[in-house]
Copies of this chain bind each other. A is one copy, B any other.
């Protein structure tokens, strides 16, 4: 573990597994539970990094797969690493590319996301959409061969090469190469895949330790989280939590398929988390609907990343407490002459400055300025909500806060 990294639990909720902590990195402290902004290509879509500082976002996650393809880790390393490159000088994670392996492979083939039933239209595809003769992704024991979505060029990720790429990118928290299985993979496949992911984790960890003291990388204070797999299968999640939990990782991420429903996802957390060292941080990969922020924090999750809040924003769907699913869609005709802000209780630039009517106009006109204004609101909304959740944990009122939002923990 880096000397500049520590994880200090501050408060525990008496009724649930929720906790607050200080996650200290070389680029600052994250107060958890925290939402991690998705800056796939070293920018949150439609927001310049300074805007994230202004809204109080604490940490972002970028993507090794995308940054490897463009602009390439060597360019980023030559410019001092991700922090200097992007101008975001605060805590940063990089995902390993495992999800991209999934989303270009099994996800396309199966037509599903990480929690099958949550995604409309998710079904087992009789005919895989990707022709076996020209797969975008090929997994072997060695690693993953894939074609670039940008230019079709062939690339290979191994557990070792991914660590090297991430060392060059220089995020504070990095993740090893894994295979993210689909909710529609069967037990046998999920088990074989998990076992391979465990071997990859061991190889990634070894590579990380080998490169740890190399002064040529931009961030000497990186830490590596292990990723728990095992799909929605009870014994596999237990096994993965034990195997990964026993390795010398600085924190843990819950990855892969989370089943076909929210309750499957909660089961996965309830099985895995108690087996992980209590003093290590726990990240939930790719999940972050408003309900999840409550129910997964209550199960012991410290950090989340999810592209949905920013994607929703770009589609006109903005958060408002008390609305159905706590959001409204500004495309709706009822906002055409609505002079009020999205949320009168919100302190974001968008709510302080612009009416729903103006935002609706920009949204329908497809103006780029809309994407920024809506994204600003949705992220500020989550920043404030996570602050409220932390306060509720500190004051022992998390269950009451969840009820106020109409969720059951």
A residues within 8 Å of B by Cβ? 41-50, 66, 70-71, 75, 78-79, 85-87, 336-337, 339, 349, 353-355, 357-358, 360-362, 364-365, 367-369, 371-373
Please, which residues of chain B bring their CB within 8 A of the CB of A360? 71
If the complex has contacts A75-B337, A336-B75, A353-B50, are A43 and B362 also in contact, measured as CB distance less than 8 A? yes
Q: Is the CB of B43 within 8 A of A75?
A: no
Q: Which residue of B lies closest to A339 (CB)?
A: B79
A105 to chain B, nearest CB (A): 22
Q: Is the CB of B48 within 8 A of A373?
A: yes
Task: State A190–B43 Cα separation when bound (angstroms).
Answer: 51
Q: Is the CB of B47 within 8 A of A365?
A: no
Q: Is the CB of A358 within 8 A of B50?
A: no
Q: Is the CB of B48 within 8 A of A369?
A: yes
Q: Is the CB of B75 within 8 A of A357?
A: yes
Please, which residues of chain B bring their CB within 8 A of the CB of A44? 369
Residue of B66, B86, B369, B371 near A358 (CB, 8 A) is B86
Q: Which residue of B lies closest to A376 (CB)?
A: B48
Q: Is the CB of A361 within 8 A of B41?
A: yes
Task: State A355–B367 Cα separation when bound (angstroms).
Answer: 26
Q: Which residue of B lies closest to A71 (CB)?
A: B361
Please, which residues of chain B bring their CB within 8 A of the CB of A41? 361-362, 365, 367
If the complex has contacts A48-B369, A48-B373, A336-B71, are A357 and B43 also in contact, measured as CB distance less than 8 A? no
Please, which residues of chain B bring their CB within 8 A of the CB of A339? 79
Q: A75-B361, A79-B355 are in contact. List 19 more A-B contacts (CB 8 A).
A: A41-B365, A41-B367, A42-B361, A45-B368, A45-B369, A46-B367, A46-B369, A48-B349, A48-B354, A70-B365, A71-B336, A71-B360, A71-B364, A85-B355, A85-B358, A87-B354, A87-B358, A368-B371, A372-B372
A64 to chain B, nearest CB (A): 15
Please, which residues of chain B bring their CB within 8 A of the CB of A371? 368
Q: Which residue of B lies closest to A78 (CB)?
A: B337
Task: State A43–B49 Cα separation when bound (angstroms).
Answer: 22
Interface centre among A41, A49, A373 (most CB of B within 10 A): A41
Q: Is the CB of A367 within 8 A of B337?
A: no
Q: Is the CB of B337 within 8 A of A43?
A: no
Residue of B48, B70, B353, B358 near A42 (CB, 8 A) is B358
Residue of B349, B357, B372 near A85 (CB, 8 A) is B357
Q: Which residue of B lies closest to A366 (CB)?
A: B41
Q: Which residue of B lies closest to A368 (CB)?
A: B46
Please, which residues of chain B bring their CB within 8 A of the CB of A71? 336, 357, 360-361, 364
Q: Which residue of B lies closest to A86 (CB)?
A: B358
Please, which residues of chain B bring their CB within 8 A of the CB of A354? 48, 87
